[in-house]
Chains A and B, each alone.
Chain A
């Protein structure tokens, strides 16, 4: 284990722990992004270029952004007052530690584990691509199909059905242009809103 590997591992784990314990959800998501970058750095130190770059591309570039967008769109940005830890957290830690010990013990003593090879396999991007397109082409296609199905499902859930009038430019989209061919709705006067305390 090299010195740099230890540093990246410590940073990754530290970021992950902070991501779990902070109160502000957006801060948690940002720390999670730091943790993802740390994992990518560890992959790079193990000479797994492709996995490392993909980790950054998918997790930092897409998943972290997805998480913060989901937080912003579903709840107000206010920080919760109550503590994050519930009263029974020591029990949770104990159970987790026990599961970890049992799993680790089982894996280390298992005879199924293959003996690690003496030489480090040299996996270039080209090799990975070749294997993905020949040996593992079926799993790849199945994953692609499932992702497409999930995406279509998400679009159907999100799609708002609207009664379309002929000549409506917006085509059922939720973003309405500032002008349309429909007659204008009667605007609510500003002073009326003010009376209700909305302004």
Chain B
């Protein structure tokens, strides 16, 4: 019974495809999977924008959107209808292209942004047997298409012929390149311990239970450090606060998409959120056990529910951080990536190696934990040492 519910999407896909002749089945099956991604995640995007506005509103002690409901009735839906007029507004707004802009590149940039972001979903396991393209090197595929996002950011910033756009693009590229390194290095630890780049294999490795608790990687010392590093780097990769310098509205208007309006602007917005969901999904898959349950007595809950619940939990933390932390300065951003996260990620790789070779000894727990805590303390002190706080002298504001 529970198995049937768990496999309902897979079974219905097989049932739908079975009406077609043999030769068309692979094509039809991939088309249905594509339609699934295109329907589910943009819908999730529209819901999450409301969650974000309402959540930040509550954290900042105000209401957030609470008016829009069903028209011509008194039903208000607590403001959750807001995304429909927002989307309609974006669709019907005038599309303004600056006269000096590079028209073709300006038009292509949002399209080029969406392609790699949507491609990344093809390797994510949304549930048991629910991976669309189960590549042998799925993790590598994800990271490769993620790297292609920078091209679109550059295209948008450069083609607008606007200094704010170009500054935003430069900031974004510098930030993405810097934080991609700790992101990949923290994912490498998982690959080392599991011994595979296949995301389904990584989940299979975590789908075991001792005393009823799952073998999620985040519960191990190296996995915890790796997850925290991965999470910080994914915040930076998706340009979220406190790493939102590329679109810092008080400094450079909207960064690389300053000159976009109407639906192209909405596409950038969509691309950013979809990228955020995708990278959260990768973090879940690598460290939080993917679609597996945390405790063995909860395994009856369908796998896709677990995936969605974890995804929403991570997105909630993203929103929480956005409402809480101020923006970093550019030099702080770079120092943090290169002087703290990169060394810690490298040490974490060594620790993962030690963990792997100590086998099933219980001693590997304290050994790995002590090494990581010492490394964290030493790196933190080394990074703080040159900061000699004295009297501030303002160079420009006197």
Contacts and interface: CB of A to CB of B under 8 A. Distances in A.
**Are both chains from one complex?**
yes
Interface of A: 26-27, 30, 33, 37, 49-50, 53-54, 56-57, 60-62, 64-65, 68-69, 72, 77, 124-126, 167, 169-171, 173, 175, 177-185, 187
B155 A30 contact: yes
A177 B331 contact: yes
Given A49-B135, A50-B137, A179-B392, A60 B151 contact: yes
Interface residues of B, number: 39
Nearest to B159: A26
Nearest to B108: A30
B362 interface: no
Interface stretch (B138-146, B203-211, B229-237, B365-373): B138-146
A125 B392 contact: no
B393 A27 contact: no
Contacts of A62: 147, 177
Given A57-B143, A72-B170, 14 more contacts: A30-B155, A37-B148, A53-B141, A56-B148, A60-B151, A61-B146, A125-B137, A173-B331, A175-B330, A178-B395, A181-B392, A182-B393, A183-B393, A185-B395
Interface in B127-164: 135-137, 140-141, 143-148, 150-151, 154-155, 158
A54 B143 CA distance: 10
Interface centre among A56, A171, A178 (most CB of B within 10 A): A56
A61 B393 contact: no
Contacts of A178: 394-396
Given A68-B154, A175-B330, A53 B144 contact: yes
B393 A179 contact: yes
B259 to A, nearest CB: 15
B261 interface: no
B396 A60 contact: no
Interface in B368-393: 386-388, 390-393
A27 B154 CA distance: 12
B47 interface: no
Contact of A184 (B388, B391, B398): B398
Contacts of A56: 144-145, 147-148
B105 interface: yes
A183 B144 CA distance: 47
B390 A53 contact: no
B151 A179 contact: no
Contact of B147 (A60, A126, A177): A60
Nearest to B198: A125
Interface of B: 105, 135-137, 140-141, 143-148, 150-151, 154-155, 158, 166, 170, 173, 177, 195-197, 329-331, 334, 386-388, 390-396, 398
Contact of B395 (A49, A124, A126, A179): A179
A69 B197 CA distance: 31
A124 B136 contact: yes
A37 B119 CA distance: 14
Given A49-B135, A60-B147, A64-B151, A169 B197 contact: no
Contacts of A53: 137, 140-141, 144
A160 to B, nearest CB: 15
Contacts of A177: 329, 331
A65 B331 CA distance: 21
Contact of A54 (B140, B154, B329, B395): B140
7 contacts: A30-B155, A56-B147, A60-B151, A72-B158, A124-B136, A125-B140, A181-B391
A167 B148 contact: no
Given A30-B151, A125-B140, A169 B196 contact: no
A135 B39 CA distance: 47
A104 to B, nearest CB: 32
A178 B393 CA distance: 9
B197 A65 contact: no
B315 to A, nearest CB: 25
A179 B144 CA distance: 39
Nearest to B135: A49
A68 B158 contact: yes
A62 B149 CA distance: 11
Contacts of A125: 136-137, 140, 197
Contacts of B195: 126
A181 B390 contact: yes
Nearest to A27: B105
Given A72-B158, A125-B136, A65 B144 contact: no
B328 to A, nearest CB: 12
Nearest to B332: A177
A68 B109 CA distance: 15
B201 to A, nearest CB: 11
A30 to B, nearest CB: 7
A108 to B, nearest CB: 34
A58 to B, nearest CB: 8
8 closest A-B pairs (Cβ-Cβ)? A61-B147, A57-B144, A56-B144, A53-B144, A53-B140, A125-B137, A184-B395, A175-B331
Contacts of B140: 49-50, 53-54, 57, 125
Contacts of B398: 184
A184 B394 contact: yes
A171 B386 contact: yes
Contacts of B387: 169
B392 A65 contact: no
Contacts of A68: 154, 158
